[in-house]
Amino acid sequence: MKNLLSTSRGTFNIRTYGNPEHPAVILLHGWPQTGYCWHHLATHLDGLYVIAPDLRGMGDSNRELDLKFYTKDEMSLDIFAIADALGIEQFYLGGHDWGGAIVQEMAFMHPERIKKLVIINMVIINNAIGQAKAAEVLIPHQFRSSWYQFFLSIKDLPEALIVGKEEVWVRFFSRGISNPVPEDAIQEYIRCYKIPHSITTAANIYRTLPQDRERWKTHYATHTVDIPTNFIHGILDPVIIKEYIIGVEESYSQVTVTKLKGGHFIVDEQPAEVGKAIRAFLLG
């Protein structure tokens, strides 16, 4: 069911769980998911009011075609606009995959609005040490693990090849490692990927990565975040490998690391374990 919210930056679909009187946590999904990825996990977040928006260009949210809307600093402004529209000044914040990059951008922009931060299976964008260590391991077989990132960055080719094959495409990336991705979640991701222009708008998240990397390198490379932060790592993730965590304490002064058995899509694979870890950190 759609729950569309009008904001200063457009219309976004949001899912909410729990009592609005409880402390709010905004949870951001990654690719190729939607906010539905938090559906099974939210039941393990007692005592919190969960807000799970569909990111711009995905789910049932806005689908502008212009690349400028998909840099991660622009997408961060979308989430602040959602919080503003809901009348929420301060909140807990968590994100997985690209959602994990967006929450980091938000922490740089307005740390005073974020009470605690959770990053799940995503590169720490201001951790040059970890990125260098991971590159040493990944470069020999990088195309095998990251080919789709290069593919999605090519202009027009994904649109030409994926249309009509959305189910095959989504199912290929929804194979769980520690547990299967729930079928209801897969069906929702397929439905949304079939919405017109979804292939373009989802690919735009990758097509703006060069601009993102330049900004991260020039603006945030030496920036330290002082927000209490928990990095949750699915230890079976073939993309976000353990080397990315090396040196994380140089980037986040109040960081803890939680290691769980799961792949890249650990939010879908292990909702109970991830949910319990999030709740323990936020309310502990």
Per-residue burial over 246-276, b = 16 or more CB atoms within 10 Å of its CB, e = otherwise: bbbebbbeebeebebebbbbbbbbbbebbbe
Cα Rg for the chain, rounded, in angstroms? Answer: 17
The order of strands in the sheet holding 24-28 is 4-7, 10-17, 49-53, 24-28, 91-96, 114-120, 229-234, 255-260
Residue ranges and CATH numbers for the domains of the chain are 4-283 (3.40.50.1820)
**pLDDT value of position 140:** 75
pLDDT of residue 64: 96
pLDDT for position 141: 74
For tokens 């960081």, name the residue. 255
Type of residue at 191:
R
- How far is residue 200's CA from residue 65's CA, in Å, rounded to a whole number? 7
Residuewise pLDDT in 10s, the chain (284 residues):
789 999 999 999 999 999 999 999 999 999 999 999 999 999 999 999 999 999 999 999 999 999 999 999 999 999 999 999 999 999 999 999 999 999 999 999 999 999 999 999 999 999 999 999 999 998 877 767 789 999 999 999 999 999 999 999 999 999 989 999 999 999 999 999 999 999 999 999 999 999 999 999 988 888 899 999 999 999 999 999 999 999 999 999 999 999 999 999 999 999 999 999 999 999 99
Question: How much is the pLDDT for 182?
Answer: 97
Distance CA 32, CA 59 (A): 9
CB 279 within 8 A of CB 44: yes
pLDDT score at 145: 78
